[in-house]
Amino acid sequence: MFPLRVSDIQINIKSKRLIGPINLQIEQNGISILLGANGSGKTTLLEALHGLRKLSAGKVEWAISHTLAAKEQTFVFQSPIMLRRTVSENLAFPLKVRQISKSVANAEVMMWAKKIGLEHKMKQQAVLLSGGEMQAIAVARALITKPKMLFLDEPTASLDGATKKTIEDILISASNDGTKIMMSTHDLGQAKRLAKDIVFMHNGIVEAHCSKEKFLTEPPSKAAKQFLAGDIVL
């Protein structure tokens, strides 16, 4: 089990409230999509859940110890972060850190390189690849250790359709294999394709958390209705 519970968390910078208070419970299965307009607080919430942001109030509780939870989760940023190494070395890095045997690591690296269509670029420097290729590497690198939890912050923003589909297919497969995924996006079509449940944010708070079907058919707030209609959300 790997659900998490968020109780009255809030993040402030000086006297400005960024998000909160937020109460939320994320179940262990499926893909949870964090929806909302730009500036609604999606990235800040994801960073808070992953421990990248210090809480001003409240707490994040995991079903397992925080120490173990920290080892069993990964994060993919909107702008891919690449090591100044080859594609192969980027993919192998998490396995090397965990002291996985070279033979096992090589097999895993090749399998993931094939999944993202980069097996023919294994020796190329990752930082010289296209943005879509680097993001595919970042997602594969995050999943190569089979984490129990994966956070993604708009990982397919500005990517072409083919690369977006590759990443979405990988995420669906990982979810089916038992990795819990929580991902932010402002792409409603993507939410429809991937989500089991939707967390909708507006002005730094969670206005709704419900099944995808309920959110799409019974939008819970004025902002949610505007978002679904494609209007500007104020």
Q: CA 141, CA 172: separation in Å to the nearest integer? A: 16
Q: What is the mean pLDDT of residues 164-176?
A: 95
**Which pLDDT value is given to residue 232?**
82
Residues 6 or more apart from 4 whose CB is under 8 A from it? 25, 26, 49, 60, 61, 62, 63, 69, 149
CATH architecture of 28-54+64-72+147-234: 3-Layer(aba) Sandwich (3.40)
**Which pLDDT value is given to residue 129?**
95
Place of tokens 């262990």: 28
Instruction: With beta carbons less than 8 A apart as the criterion, state whether 196 and 164 touch.
Output: no
Q: What is the CA radius of gyration of the chain?
A: 18
**Which pLDDT value is given to residue 230?**
87
pLDDT digits (tens, 9 = 90+) for 178-203: 999 999 998 899 999 999 999 999 99
Whether the per-residue pLDDT at 1 is higher than 80: the answer is no
Whether the per-residue pLDDT at 2 is higher than 70: the answer is no
Q: CA 90, CA 222: separation in Å to the nearest integer? A: 44
Question: In this structure, how many other beta carbons lie within 10 angstroms of the beta carbon of residue 81?
Answer: 12
pLDDT digits (tens, 9 = 90+) for 67-82: 888 889 999 999 999 9
Domain spans of the chain, in order of start: 28-54+64-72+147-234, 80-146
Q: What pTM did the predictor assign?
A: 0.94
